[in-house]
């Protein structure tokens, strides 16, 4: 079967950008970001956006396309990525989809059902309840009405808990049922080979996460969040401000105490990485590369070359 596009996934700080650029040095590729945070303009330091030099090494897409006051959905990603893949292929280049938002990968490769539209009234009511009761309480409610979805969400995964309850309250049908419904026709998974960078040692990844968060702090991450807050039209309930790191920085600035930020930011990033790895393990056809191996770069490049055919 012809390869439609090559996918490169992995938890945060696993080395995806370096592996992608290594392939770009060998083949004519264009990189499509598969990252729900990189779409937002002004979220630069805390998302570890590719640098200007990295973006100059190969064309990059789906970065800086949405204002942080707005939202970006999996359905919109599928539409954008599908269009870009076709355009890149028409130019005789290889589409390389790179990122860590596993829902986007799954939606693109398996198809995404039409979901009910967002209901502002239901969302506002859920926000009010979360403020009064906490997200773990709403997670417990989700477990009663949609145990399948609740089982894969952390009790503080506010964005996904809210969306799942919103779908259920608005339609009377669990979001897991919508997701298991008829899928739009997509190229078979073999047409979207997936190379996955996964650490054999969680300790190695945790150290990388800590180093990256420290580098972000040193680069002025807190000032970046201060600048975003100063706009006046952003708030912690927005998807952009719920991104890992930004949520913790916003809370620290609200409290007037930056001391806990490093610990909380690193802990939240570790939790994100754990969820990403869980998602990846549900994709048995993936090609696993141990990103903490001494020759990880060579292994990743070889796997990508093989996947590209």
Q: Which two tokens stand for residue 133?
A: 């009761």
Q: Would the annotation count 220 as a binding residue?
A: no
Contact partners, residue 303, CB within 8 Å, separation at least 6: 195, 287, 289
Using the structure block, give the residue that is written with the tokens 């090494």.
57
Please spell the DSSP secondary structure of 104-166, one letter per residue: HHHHHHH--PPPPPP-HHHHHHHHHHHHHH-HHHHHHHHHHH-HHHHHTS-TT-HHHHHHHHH
Residue 167: how many other CB atoms lie within 10 Å: 25
Q: Would the annotation count 16 as a binding residue?
A: yes
Q: Would the annotation count 196 as a binding residue?
A: no
Q: Would the annotation count 49 as a binding residue?
A: no
Q: Would the annotation count 14 as a binding residue?
A: yes
Q: Would the annotation count 13 as a binding residue?
A: yes
Q: Would the annotation count 15 as a binding residue?
A: yes
CB 248 within 8 A of CB 257: no
Angle, nearest 10°, between helix axes 221-230 and 202-218?
Answer: 60
Detail the residues annotated as belonging to a binding site: 10-17
Detail the residues annotated as belonging to a binding site for ATP: 10-17
Detail the residues annotated as belonging to a binding site for substrate: 12-17
């Amino acid at each position: 079967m012809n390869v439609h596009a090559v996918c490169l996934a992995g938890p945060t700080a696993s080395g995806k950008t370096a592996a992608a650029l290594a392939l770009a040095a060998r083949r004519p590729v264009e990189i499509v970001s598969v990252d729900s945070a990189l779409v937002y303009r002004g979220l630069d330091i805390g998302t570890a956006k590719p640098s200007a030099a990295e973006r100059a090494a190969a064309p990059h897409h789906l970065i800086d396309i949405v204002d942080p006051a707005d939202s970006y959905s999996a359905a919109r990603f599928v539409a954008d990525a599908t269009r870009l893949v076709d355009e890149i292929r028409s130019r005789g280049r290889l589409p390389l989809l790179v990122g860590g938002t596993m829902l986007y990968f799954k939606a693109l490769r398996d198809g995404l059902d039409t979901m009910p539209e967002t209901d502002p009234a239901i969302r506002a009511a859920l926000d009010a309840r979360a403020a009064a009761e906490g997200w773990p309480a709403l997670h417990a409610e989700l477990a009663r009405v949609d145990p399948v979805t609740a089982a894969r969400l952390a009790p503080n995964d506010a964005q996904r808990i809210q969306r799942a309850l919103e779908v259920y309250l608005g339609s009377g049908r669990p979001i897991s049922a919508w997701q298991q419904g008829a899928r739009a026709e997509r190229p078979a998974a073999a047409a979207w080979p997936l190379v996955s960078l996964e650490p054999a040692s969680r300790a190695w990844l945790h150290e990388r996460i800590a180093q990256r968060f420290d580098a972000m702090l040193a680069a002025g991450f807190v000032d970046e969040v201060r600048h975003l807050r100063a706009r006046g039209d952003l708030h912690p309930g927005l998807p952009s401000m719920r991104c890992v790191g930004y949520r913790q920085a916003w809370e620290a600035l609200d409290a007037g105490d930056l001391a806990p930020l490093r610990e909380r930011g690193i802990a939240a990033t570790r939790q994100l990485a754990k969820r990403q790895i869980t998602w990846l393990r549900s994709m048995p056809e993936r090609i696993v590369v141990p990103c903490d191996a001494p020759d990880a770069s060579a292994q990743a490049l070889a796997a990508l070359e093989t996947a590209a055919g």
